[in-house]
Amino acid sequence: MCCILVSPYFAQQDPQYSQYQFNQMVINPAYAGNRDVLSVVIDIRKQWSGFQGTPNTQSLSFHGPLKNKRIGLGFSAYNDAIGPKKATSAYGNISYILPLNNKFKLSFGLRGGFVNYRFDFNKIQYKDAGETAALSQITANITKADIDAGLFLKSNSFFTGLSITHINNANIINEKINYTDVLGQQRQFNLDYKLSPHLFAIISKGFLINDNLVFNPCIMYKSTKAAANVDFNLNFLIDQKIWLGVYTKSDATLGFLMQVLVKNNLRIGYSFETGISKLQRQLGRGHEIMIGYDFNTFKSKTLSPRYL
């Protein structure tokens, strides 16, 4: 019974984002160096704001190419809290960027680092007081190595990517819990938490409507052992300065996003989402703020915001 109650808190292992198409470092290590500038992004997200213990995420990433534009280097970190679980990570990132022709570049990326998990089971209450007492004695603080890999193909108006996180399948918790139930009988169960590989596949294409309007649809598929989801995004770039978009997710989520190019190198984005079903609406809304800045280190050509 305990595993059933704990599993909803543990189902979401990787942080969730709504503006990933503007900062693909959070889902794909092969993206490092593909903006042709040194890019720094901060992302703050609050999901399901209707009750306590909901997902709350802060992330930082920066990446850029070396001078020959063939090697991309980066760093990323995040802090993610949901219910009794808090995770903090730090990763180093390297990619190799291979020009295929005058239009396309193919990147191969690896990311490696450490993730620290902290569990406070006092935040969970069970029907059986024996379970509550047994788990309240456990305060896990565990650090494990973590490895991700990815591929990324892009041109000036098209990109597609494939990435897998947690390919080393790190085992975080594996303990036997003994307790006495309300009837005085001895019980035992396994408390097991392992990082499962997450698959991300994304594709997007920009269509020039006129000199002041670009239509940029984007689809992302996310899959784990437990479930699979699809995100559909319809984004519009207005006057090369403002992104407006709507999106929906197969978990019954509907959202709106906006990003403004404040200056040539500074961009600020915001997204808002809510549930489509009555149950999802009861969970509350989601909010996400993204701030990005590009340092044109090698004085290369200006990056057009049309191309993500």
280-301 pLDDT, tens digit per residue, is 666 668 899 999 999 976 655 4
Q: What average pLDDT does the segment 136-140 reach?
A: 67
Contact of 240 with 234, CB cutoff 8 Å: no
Tens of pLDDT along 187-203? 777 777 889 999 999 99
Q: Determine the pLDDT at residue 137.
A: 63
Q: What's residue 206's pLDDT? A: 93
- Average pLDDT over all residues of the chain: 85
Least confident of 62-76, 89-103, 183-197, 254-268: 183-197
**Cβ atoms of residues 149 and 167 within 8 Å:** yes
**Which pLDDT score, from 0 to 100, does residue 68 have?**
84
Give the model's pLDDT for residue 43. Answer: 97
Is the overall model pTM greater than 0.75, yes or no? yes
2-295 homologous superfamily: monomeric porin ompg (2.40.160.40)
Which residues are within 8 A (CB) of 299 and not within 5 positions of it... i.e. 6 or more apart? none
Q: What is the mean pLDDT of residues 140-167?
A: 94
Q: How far apart are CA 220 and CA 231, in angstroms?
A: 5
> Cα(24)–Cα(219) distance, rounded to whole angstroms?
13
DSSP string, 175-194: EEEEEE-TTS-EEEEEEEEE
Euclidean distance between CA atoms 29 and 166, whole angstroms: 12
* pLDDT tens-digit readout, 75-100: 999 999 988 889 999 999 999 999 99
Q: How far is CA 257 from CA 31, 41, 207, 262, 289, in A?
A: 22, 17, 19, 16, 10
Which pair of tokens denotes residue 115? Answer: 């993730």
